[in-house]
Structure 1
Amino acid sequence: MRSRGPLGRILGEHPVGTAFVTPYVVFLAAVFAYPLGFAVYMSFHDYFFAAPGAIVDRPFVGFDNYVTVLSDPAVRRAFGNVLVFLVINVPLTVVLSLLLANALNAAIRWRTFFRVSYYVPYVTASVAVVGVWLFLFNSNGLVNSVLGPLAPDPSWLVNSSLAMPTVAIYVTWKQLGFFILLYLAALQNVSKDLYEAASMDGAGRWKSFLNVTVPGVRPATTLVVLLATVTGANLFTEPYLLTGGGGPDGASASPVLIMYQRGIEQGNPDVGSAIGVLLVIGVLLLALIERRFVGKEES
């Protein structure tokens, strides 16, 4: 008897699940797959905006748009800025969210209050939160007042060396509550028996944390790293609002911000699409590396 393929087995064994999943698959195809495919099409053509209904010629140009993108110093700097952002943001996010989640998982007073407090910045509108950070980090802000003569000159958000690190710290703080919740959920699956066994072997809190907690939440850590990486790759709102569109000489510009400037503000959607395609490829490569890492750890 001929065996059915994976799709046939899914349709045959899980018809109800397939019925529920199908609308979401259609939604993904309409909202993500089609725009991505159209972006790839635009990146290989001399594409430009035209009046609705107008018949225009948009010739195939091969990799010309990609050559333009890769030879643009602003684009190269934007991708470099994202690497700086990720080097700061991802380790901070993993370490702080895990430590805080571990503390909040303990039986402490006001635990619910602290859990809600850490989550508030994540659900607060970025425009409102950015206003607070602009007050804190401007030249006459609270941070410089506390630092006194140690304050940088020029100030944080207009300093070409400090603009992107400041943005990275802001994003880490704002999204910390979400990742704390992920770790809190993962900590519920770590067996209490493991902690008791570690305690009987003479392990203190720190050794129990390193030898029981950290390995126990490794899948959650991989998810946090992946989500934080994707967040960094899609950075737009934060540098746009905090540094007025990229900071001094593009010090905090991100690929998505450059894509918006080239594609929308300057009217070159073909170049903007090429930037977007390169960004998607980079994110997919990072996701593939993470998946292989997870498979290796689980095995």
Structure 2
Amino acid sequence: MRSRGPLGRILGEHPVGTAFVTPYVVFLAAVFAYPLGFAVYMSFHDYFFTAPGAIVERPFVGFDNYVTVLSDPAVRRAFGNVLVFLVINVPLTVVLSLLLANALNAAIRWRTFFRVSYYVPYVTASVAVVGVWLFLFNSNGLVNSVLGPLAPDPSWLVNSSLAMPTVAIYVTWKQLGFFILLYLAALQNVSGDLYEAADMDGAGRWQRFMNVTVPGVRPATTLVVLLATVTGANLFTEPYLLTGGGGPDGASASPVLIMYQRGIEQGNPDVGSAIGVLLVIGVLLLALVERRFVGKEES
């Protein structure tokens, strides 16, 4: 067997494949790995913005920034808010996208029209869609006009109890089209023989759905849960636009929004980085729990 040189050991047995993968590896390192590592560095130092080219000392402060973050009531409330968001958003996303994808996978009239209709909000600019929702859910909006005396007071987006659930429902609706496409792709891999066997056993529509469709798309469900969790934990644009920056009184603020306020607006990037590192750790732990739970069901 011919021994390979140092370059051959680096490129492996298939150098062409390595060449194709290298740009993506560089992209990940530049866009994800380096910023994350720099954020960890900032979170352990007294880091502040300076003029370009200025050389200043940024002393190591240990866990002081993390103590500051964990002792801040606004930060603790923001993490609680995002948990409320995920509890509403993730189950709704999974259930609605699977049900709608299953319906759109059937031979119905105007199927293409409905598929495009559900996908349009996902690709539409958030600013434009938020304007519609502000019209619907403000104090004198269409929703309150329809509800009449049943409308909440204060209204939806200025109500400390309803602001975050309203944001969660908005995000669920806006992103639904993307997850419907994921389920539609997964449904193509569910064998029709399984449905025929279920029909021969006398299974009804609901039984076919629960015993054939749901197990058949479980890998896609795992992906949907993880993606919904990660995107939900990074919530920023929606509360920033819908509730004027996390209002009322921080009831809809997210950790990313607080990180922006502390790090950029207030000029404390070290504190903002500590919030970001804690958020990354929390999302990883939550994703691990979800993955193990779904894996247990698959086994």
Q: Distance in 1 between matches of 2:289 and 2:10?
A: 27
The worse-fitting range, judged by mean Cα deviation, of 168-177 and 3-12 is 3-12
Preserved contact between residue 122 and residue 174 of structure 1 (Cα < 8 Å): yes
3-state SS of paired residue (1:13): coil
Deviation at 1:216, TM superposition (A): 0.3
Preserved contact between residue 81 and residue 254 of structure 1 (Cα < 8 Å): yes
CA gap of 1:8–1:135, structure 2 versus 1, over 3 A, is farther
Deviation at 1:190, TM superposition (A): 0.2
Per the normalisation by structure 1, the TM-score is 0.96
CA gap of 1:38–1:183, structure 2 versus 1, over 3 A, is same
CA gap of 1:8–1:207, structure 2 versus 1, over 3 A, is farther
CA gap of 1:215–1:134, structure 2 versus 1, over 3 A, is same
Cα displacement string for residues 70-107 of structure 1 (whole angstroms, at most 9, x for unaligned residues): 00000000000000000000010000000000000000
Deviation at 1:2, TM superposition (A): 13
CA gap of 1:6–1:74, structure 2 versus 1, over 3 A, is farther
Q: Distance in 2 between matches of 1:8 and 1:97?
A: 47
Identity of paired residues, percent? 97
3-state SS of paired residue (1:249): coil
Aligned counterpart, 1:232 = 232
Per the normalisation by structure 2, the TM-score is 0.96
Cα displacement string for residues 206-244 of structure 1 (whole angstroms, at most 9, x for unaligned residues): 000000000000000010000000011000000000000
CA gap of 1:112–1:54, structure 2 versus 1, over 3 A, is same
Cα displacement string for residues 236-287 of structure 1 (whole angstroms, at most 9, x for unaligned residues): 0000000000011100000000000000000000000000000011111122
Deviation at 1:294, TM superposition (A): 4.6
Deviation at 1:57, TM superposition (A): 1.3
Aligned counterpart, 1:93 = 93
Preserved contact between residue 12 and residue 18 of structure 2 (Cα < 8 Å): no
CA gap of 1:10–1:107, structure 2 versus 1, over 3 A, is farther
Aligned counterpart, 1:68 = 68
Preserved contact between residue 84 and residue 165 of structure 1 (Cα < 8 Å): yes
Deviation at 1:290, TM superposition (A): 3.3
Q: Distance in 2 between matches of 1:184 and 1:54?
A: 54
Preserved contact between residue 10 and residue 18 of structure 1 (Cα < 8 Å): no
**Unaligned regions of 5+ residues in structure 1, if any?**
none
Q: Distance in 1 between matches of 2:10 and 2:93?
A: 37
Deviation at 1:32, TM superposition (A): 1.0
**Unaligned regions of 5+ residues in structure 2, if any?**
none
Preserved contact between residue 97 and residue 176 of structure 1 (Cα < 8 Å): yes
The worse-fitting range, judged by mean Cα deviation, of 251-260 and 6-15 is 6-15
Preserved contact between residue 138 and residue 156 of structure 1 (Cα < 8 Å): yes
Preserved contact between residue 44 and residue 60 of structure 1 (Cα < 8 Å): yes
The worse-fitting range, judged by mean Cα deviation, of 199-208 and 281-290 is 281-290
Q: Distance in 2 between matches of 1:172 and 1:140?
A: 23
Q: Distance in 2 between matches of 1:151 and 1:4?
A: 74
